[in-house]
Amino acid sequence: MVTAQPVVVSLADLKSGNISFETLQEAFGPESLGILVVKDVPTEFPRLRHQLLSYASYMGNLSEADFDKFTNEAAKYLVGWSKGREKLKDGGADEYKGSFYANCAFYVDPSLESAKPTEKFPLEQFPEYLAPNSWPPNETLPGFKPTMEQMCSLIIDTAVLVARACDKFAEKEITGYPSAYLEKTVKSSSTTKARLLHYYPMPEEAMAKGQEEDNWCAVHKDHGCLTGLTSAMFVDELKTDAKAPSFGEKVPELLPTLEELPGSPDPQAGLWIKDRRGVPVQVKIPRDCIAFQTGEALERITRGKFKAVEHSVRGAYAKGIARNTLAVFTQPNLEDEVDLDQHISFGEFARGIIAKNTV
């Protein structure tokens, strides 16, 4: 097993603009792993991370009747709850992972639950981005919505600073690159999408097949600009009760956090990136940091100066162990151009990718 060390920068250096072009090339360039880790993040981050990733286990253990309350088939299961809708390497459906998708339009305007439809991009053609959020009822998961919104906003705030550093590089290296293009795109987008993931404890029959099976996530590239990632939280659901407690008529402000294991019982669980030679290497994100991966929109916007990264994620081959994490896909607005030469909008670009990746 090969473990790679990602490039690490501090939030303070991002704020002051003290990130060298060499550092950005090492993190995102053609020979890189396409990942940058930000340390010294805001003090509320560890609390929000623990709280939100606890909700992932609570959500994953709800009943089918509960799931029906915040599932949106018309939005291709890319708003609200989704399970068994993502394609694996063999073309089958991913049954070992549950996801909650949220539009992050609230970052631009707290009153919005999605981007606003336009004549060019109507709701009927782009429900995965334009259908309003389907939140679980507060009486089912008290405090989930504000926790999710706070955590996503913190990650997007940090992504804006990473984008600013990328712009400085691009403005110098790319002829005709629009000033502050990526920062404006990330800051003003109402189509940024968050995905809270719950990797279920592996069934015994799946573990019996061995670790070569692709039971988790086919190798892929993200199609947005920068993907913000938390480190994973591992929960022993045989020892820790991950069912949402009953609380009668007095609904609490938040559900209690769950006990987090100090690490994964399975050393191979986690994020795997294909290096530029095509060799899979494992990258570990520290618990108190936020990582950012490159996506295909960023590669197009920077004309290949920064490269999207192929990666996959695997859960834990250990009895009773769940893996929870959050990904925030900062994406352009549907009408924003991602190919500045061919004048291709993000909406046009994303349409084919979504059709390819869902069952």
pLDDT in tens, 39-88: 999 999 999 999 999 999 999 999 999 999 999 999 999 999 999 766 55
Whether the pLDDT of residue 113 is over 90: the answer is yes
Determine the average pLDDT of the residues in 91-105: 84
Q: Quickly count: other Cβ atoms within 10 Å of residue 356's Cβ.
A: 10
Q: 227-275: per-residue pLDDT in tens? A: 999 999 999 999 999 999 888 889 999 999 999 999 999 999 999 999 8
Whether the pLDDT of residue 306 is over 50: the answer is yes
Pick the more confident residue, 217 or 159.
Answer: 159
User: How confident is the model at residue 212, as a pLDDT?
Assistant: 52
User: How confident is the model at residue 44, as a pLDDT?
Assistant: 98
Determine the average pLDDT of the residues in 296-319: 92
pLDDT-based confidence at residue 210 (cuts at 50, 70, 90): low
User: How confident is the model at residue 215, as a pLDDT?
Assistant: 47
* Percent of the chain predicted with pLDDT > 70: 92
Determine the average pLDDT of the residues in 2-20: 96
Whether the pLDDT of residue 187 is over 70: the answer is yes
Whether the pLDDT of residue 157 is over 70: the answer is yes
Inter-helix orientation angle 21-28/144-173, to 10°: 120
Closest CA to 311 of 285, 337, 338: 285
Closest CA to 103 of 72, 141, 68: 72
User: How confident is the model at residue 338, as a pLDDT?
Assistant: 86
Q: Indicate the pTM of the whole model.
A: 0.94
Determine the average pLDDT of the residues in 283-308: 95
Pick the more confident residue, 146 or 359.
Answer: 146
User: How confident is the model at residue 246, as a pLDDT?
Assistant: 85
pLDDT-based confidence at residue 91 (cuts at 50, 70, 90): low
User: How confident is the model at residue 96, as a pLDDT?
Assistant: 85
Q: What distance in Å separates the CA atoms of residue 210 and residue 197, rounded to the nearest whole number?
A: 23
User: How confident is the model at residue 89, as a pLDDT?
Assistant: 53
